[in-house]
Amino acid sequence: MEQHTNSKEPASLPHAIEELTALTREIGDKKPVLFLDYDGTLSPIVKNPEEALLSQKTKTCLQELAEIVPIAVVSGRDRADVKNKVGLENLIYAGSHGFDITGPNGLNMQYEGGEKAIPALDAAEKSLKEKLGNIEGAWVERKKYAIAVHYRNVAEEKEETVKKAVEEVINRQEKLKKGGGKKILELKPNIDWHKGRATLWLLDALELNDGKHTPLFIGDDVTDEDALEAIAGRGIGILVGTHGQTTAASYRLKDTEEVAEFLGKLQQLLSERGKG
């Protein structure tokens, strides 16, 4: 994550549902474009990431909203994985923090810098599995353009061993850089591409930088801060919960249930506006 300058304490932010009138006033007569993280935003964070599923309420909200506004799910998960988890065809899916993007009307982009890092990722994956294979609860998850080392289920006294192993592997792979999250360490291509740049790329690719649209990004983790910073001043950022650091968001929500509630209220407001 880059060093951001307009950061605030999450607790100081206005609540997005309580201040929905003010938030929609910021949107004005423009059309919102929704960018949504998955884990911790649309789906609760769980011990087994494969069990991170959408609630029916959230899925229904997304389905109804997608008929009104463009929606992109921007996730650290592999693009195919997050698309399968959400299960809606008319959304845009940006996987691996935006290295792999697909969407309706033939939208397809794979950031070429990610391809060049694949041999380094292959080598790092092998080393990490050798180093962490005997640590109970540690999981080395290989994605196409990244490796996620999960230690949520590792005993507390072993967490430092996991972190040290990741540092050792990173130090041997100059084409990779380390990222972080909630009980996750990531190894990613060492290039200037992240959720923020992917969000801006999508706005350009979809021709939505036209003064008639307002980007709205909702995320919960430090990896989402790049996107929250990218749209600051031109859109609305909402932080879900807290990640222990300051944020570039301008509103907050408590958890994934409040995200679903917010999406439902936003859908109602936009539908009423469309009828007016």
Confidence of residue 138 (pLDDT cuts 50, 70, 90): very high
pLDDT over 70 (residue 276)? no
Q: Read off the pTM.
A: 0.88
Confidence of residue 3 (pLDDT cuts 50, 70, 90): very low
pLDDT over 50 (residue 126)? yes
Superfamily of domain 115-189: Trehalose-6-phosphate phosphatase related protein; domain 2 (3.30.70.1020)
pLDDT over 90 (residue 85)? yes
Task: Give residue for tokens 């591409």.
Answer: 193
Confidence of residue 4 (pLDDT cuts 50, 70, 90): very low
Nearest Cα to Cα of residue 258 among 33, 76, 18, 12? 18
pLDDT tens digit string along 167-178?
999 999 999 999
pLDDT tens digit string along 22-59?
999 999 999 999 999 999 999 998 888 888 899 999 99
pLDDT of residue 2: 42
pLDDT of residue 1: 41
- Token duo for residue 3: 């060093």
* Range list of H helices, 146-213: 159-171, 195-205
Annotated active-site positions, please? 37
pLDDT tens digit string along 169-215?
999 999 999 988 889 999 999 999 999 999 999 999 999 989 899 99
pLDDT of residue 112: 80
pLDDT of residue 11: 93
Rounded Cα gap, residues 251 and 205, in angstroms: 27
Average pLDDT, integer, range 5-29:
91
pLDDT over 60 (residue 9)? yes
Its CATH class, for the domain covering 10-111+193-275, is alpha beta
pLDDT over 70 (residue 5)? no
pLDDT of residue 239: 98
3-state SS, residue 35? strand
pLDDT of residue 231: 96
pLDDT tens digit string along 142-172?
988 999 999 999 999 999 999 999 999 999 9
Beta strands in 21-76 (DSSP E): 31-36, 71-74
Nearest Cα to Cα of residue 241 among 265, 266, 224? 224
pLDDT of residue 6: 64
Q: What is the CA radius of gyration of the chain?
A: 19
Domain residue limits, the chain: 10-111+193-275, 115-189
Confidence of residue 7 (pLDDT cuts 50, 70, 90): confident
Burial degree of 47 (CB within 10 A; 0-12, 13-18, 19+)? exposed
